Amino acid sequence: MRSCSTPAMMRSAQLALLALAPSVVSAITTGFPYGSTTVRGVNLGGWLVLEPWITPSIFDNTGDSRVVDEYTYGQFVARATATSVLNNHWNTFITEQDFIAIKNAGLNHVRLPIGYWAWDVSGGEPYVQGQLPFLAKAITWAQNQGLKIVLDLHGAPGSQNGFDNSGQKGTPRWQTSQSNIDRTNAIIKKIALQYASQSSVIPIIATLNEPAGFFSQQLLDVTRQYWYDSYGNVRFPFGNSTQGNTVLMIHDAFQPLSYWNGFMGTSTGRQGVAIDTHIYQMFSNALVAMNNSQHISNACNNAGELSAFNDLWKIVGEWTTAATDCAKYLNGRGTGARYDGTLSGSPRVGSCTGLTGSTSTFSSAYKTFLRQMFEAQTITFERNANGWIYWTWKTEITDEWSYQKGLAGGWIPSNPGTRQFPTICG
């Protein structure tokens, strides 16, 4: 048995500890000055992960009502057709022109959702692959424009939330098998190492979108452990004690931010971690029943929860100007809306006409309201958090959700800091 028994040995042990300390506490050189410069960005939703409401035509064109997500798209559409439609979509839905327009809109980040199946399909999973060359293009386009990418794993094996936007709609099963979790960690390890030297263009990796912490304690427990594993995988990408420069972004798993106090902040000896929270105002009967002034107050009232949490960099990684669930297929392909009472269990609030679809059907009063929603939220998220990433840049037919259409229609300013309603939140 060895022990530190002499003063010299004790001193050398103390020196060894001191020698370790600087590598733990030395500041990391992040690819974006999180915490001192405000994140302003857009999501590239519906591109490398299909969502029925973002591109309903891709789903309607199947003529098959069983196709409700990317998994069933691969399962029920003839492989040659699926491959050709998806490749055409990846080639055309987002191009370098979009990155140029995003840059010109005064934004500094794009969040790029991608599913695990881009790297790994096994066990007969029917996904069509071929996304990775488009990820590579996106990185080049972002670099060309000086935009930063949040690389966002939006779907994990088995689905972490059962939402169609995880790839597979239904019951979350990611957390039920160690193999699912191991496959997810393996992808994160791979991409963290692959992009470790490119943290100037991919400064931050979001290792799992929206794990459904509300579904079960077990899912929440698995998520907590997964975030710890992600910390190792992303912050120490070389598999040794050398720290990388890539920031880890965890998601709040639908828990209040206060739940994550003391989980991964500097008090735990960690650094380089951000938390993502998503703020929507249409996914309950009570929310869609609010009138416009209640929606604005609700937006401003996020200040309380956001400002109270200071343990990690905090980014509102999804939010929108839309205030209803009227967008076709927003609640799933073939599913109606709470707002007009076509979703079962939802009392009708009113007609969706004029609240969703083409800008040409929007009244000037509605466009003013959308502008107020934009300003109330950006003001709140910039004052009380480290910034925001809008959901989403482009949609086929639902302009109230589209940043691009908001710019064209005037309810999103061409410089995101321009205010028509600077005192809207007091």
Looking at the annotation, which residues are catalytic? 210, 318
Strand partners, 251: 276
Short-list 406, 396, 415, 425, CA closest to 61: 396
- Residues paired with 248 in a beta bridge: 205, 273
* Closest separation in Å from C-beta 346 to ligand NAG: 19
Tell me the H-state helices in 196-245.
Answer: 217-235
Strand residue runs (E) in 135-246: 148-155, 204-206
DSSP type of residue 356 = B
Across-strand partners of 111? 43, 150
Q: Say what angle helices 178-194 and 217-235 make with each other, to 10 degrees.
A: 30
Q: How far apart are CA 368 and CA 381, in angstroms?
A: 20
Query: Do 69 and 52 touch, CB atoms closer than 8 A?
Result: yes
Q: Where are the beta strands (DSSP E) in 38-96?
A: 39-43
CA dist 354 and 285 (Å) reads 20
Helix (H, G, I), strand (E, B) or coil at 34: strand
Rounding to the nearest 10 degrees, give the CA dihedral for residues 168, 316, 392, 159.
0
Residues of this chain that bind ligand NAG (CB under 6 A): 238, 240-242, 291, 293-294
Secondary structure element (H or E) that encloses residue 139, with its range: helix 132-145
Phi/psi of residue 231, each to 5°?
A: -60, -45
8 A C-beta contact, residue 279 and residue 295:
no
| Residue of 224, 110, 209 whose CA lies nearest to 163 | 209
Report yes or no: 316 and 303 within 8 Å, Cβ to Cβ.
Answer: no
Q: Percentage helix, strand, coil, to 5, in the chain? A: 40, 10, 45
Angle at 142 between CA 137 and CA 145, to 5 degrees: 130
230 Cβ contact list (under 8 Å, min separation 6) = 185, 188, 207, 208, 248, 250
Task: Name the one residue in this structure whose structure tokens are 């790297």.
Answer: 119
Measuring CA to CA, how many Å separate 343 from each of 10, 53, 146, 336, 387?
70, 15, 43, 4, 33
